Amino acid sequence: MKPSLFEYSAPSSVAEAIEALSGDPGAMILAGGQSLVPAMNLRLASPTRLVDLRNVSGLGETVIEDGIIRVGAMVRHRDIELNDAVHQANPLIREAMKYVAHVPIRNRGTVVGSLCHADAAAEMPLVLLVTGGSVTAEGPGGRRDIAAADFFQFHMTTTRAADELIVHANIPGLPKGAGYAFEEFSRRHGDYAIAAVAVIVQRGSDGTVDAASVGACGVGSKPVRLSAVEEAITGTKMSADDIKTAAQSSQDYVSAPDDMHATTAYRRHLLVNLVRRALSSAEQTPAS
């Protein structure tokens, strides 16, 4: 199918983009188009105007400053995946990126676009949540930072105002020596996750877990932190038993109803196993 009619703007500055958005309540931002264009082709979305970010200057940069990776709105998934400095600062990103669609889609789709699209099963929102990152929004009233925990509201819904543009995402690097893992289950390679789990653990010199950040996507209407798992694993030395017990406590976080991919009971089973696997593989990363 083909998209319905729309007006088109390709502004050259963030200010002009915000103006175009404010002037038309049915306007939508076009970044890589890898979620919006299929929705338009299927007529699930019919924006009255597209505000294309491709000519806006300054949105294509990735900067690492004070341990934070700042990813501009037009930085493609594939750019981040192949960026070695990003990988050094936060190896969890490349690990998660492997599961995002396929290379031709990652070549066009953007990290910020994926955060704004906020699919409940998407990988990048989960990475932003477990790393404690944020996005920077700019609107007619100026800029504000929105923490990941406040940004994602519901499947495909965020706290971004309609006349705001997300100028960049701020993804913290991992603490030095932290163990990390990303585990996902999907029906086919490149599909959205039926469930996925991300883990970051910081351990003392004797192997005791000082802090843990564990989250999941695909199990509810937005990515969630599994705080019961974090509490259960903190203070342990991550023995196989500790990991098993902690993983077991993830079950209650499944809120997704039965759907065509999986039943709730199956997702619980999946989540427990993915948490167990992710903790075990994060345990292997040497603490230093």
Partner 1 sequence: MKPRKHSIPQSSADPKVMVRMTINGEEVEREVSVRMLLSDFIRHEIGLTGTHVGCEHGICGACTVMIDGRSGRSCLTFAVQADGADIRTIESVAGEDGELHPIQQAFQECHALQCGYCTPGMIMNVLSHFEAEEDLDLTDTGIRELLSGNLCRCTGYANIVKAVRQAAELTGRT
Ligand X SMILES: Cc1cc2nc3c(=O)[nH]c(=O)nc-3n(C[C@H](O)[C@H](O)[C@H](O)COP(=O)(O)OP(=O)(O)OC[C@H]3O[C@@H](n4cnc5c(N)ncnc54)[C@H](O)[C@@H]3O)c2cc1C
Who's near 269: CB < 8 A, 6+ residues apart? none
The minimum distance between CB 92 and ligand X, in angstroms, equals 15
Residue from 22, 54, 94, 147 in contact with partner 1 (CB under 8 A): 54
If binding is defined by CB under 6 A, does position 58 make contact with ligand X? no
Q: Shortest CA distance to 156 belongs to which of 207, 191, 121, 106?
A: 121
123 binds, among partner 1, ligand X, none (CB under 5 to 8 A by kind): ligand X
Spatial contact of 75 and 114, defined as CB atoms under 8 Å apart: no
Its sign, for the CA torsion 191, 178, 158, 231, is positive
Alpha-carbon distance of 1 to 258, in angstroms, equals: 29
Residue from 192, 218, 256, 279 in contact with ligand X (CB under 6 A): 192
100 binds, among ligand X, partner 1, none (CB under 5 to 8 A by kind): ligand X
Residue closer to partner 1 (CB basis): 86 or 128: 86
Count of residues of this chain found to bind ligand X when the rule CB under 6 A is applied: 31
If binding is defined by CB under 8 A, does position 73 make contact with partner 1? no
If binding is defined by CB under 6 A, does position 35 make contact with ligand X? yes
- Name the closest residue to ligand X (Cβ): 109
Alpha-carbon distance of 218 to 155, in angstroms, equals: 10
Its sign, for the CA torsion 120, 196, 144, 81, is negative
* Residues 69-128 interacting with ligand X (rule: CB under 6 A): 73, 100-101, 105, 109-110, 112-114, 116-117, 119, 122-124
Q: Provide the CB-side half-sphere exposure for 26 (13 A, CA).
A: 10
The minimum distance between CB 100 and ligand X, in angstroms, equals 4
Residue from 107, 221, 227, 281 in contact with partner 1 (CB under 8 A): 107
Alpha-carbon distance of 277 to 195, in angstroms, equals: 13
If binding is defined by CB under 8 A, does position 57 make contact with partner 1? no
Q: Which two tokens stand for residue 184?
A: 């996902």
Spatial contact of 261 and 196, defined as CB atoms under 8 Å apart: no
If binding is defined by CB under 8 A, does position 4 make contact with partner 1? yes
Cβ-based burial of 235 (10 A; exposed 0-12, middle 13-18, buried ≥19): exposed
Q: Shortest CA distance to 139 belongs to which of 121, 103, 166?
A: 166
Residues that bind ligand X (CB under 6 A): 28-36, 38, 73, 100-101, 105, 109-110, 112-114, 116-117, 119, 122-124, 160, 165-166, 190-192
By the criterion CB under 8 A, which residues form the site for partner 1?
Answer: 1-8, 10, 30, 33-34, 37-38, 41-42, 50, 52, 54, 78, 101-105, 107-108, 188-190
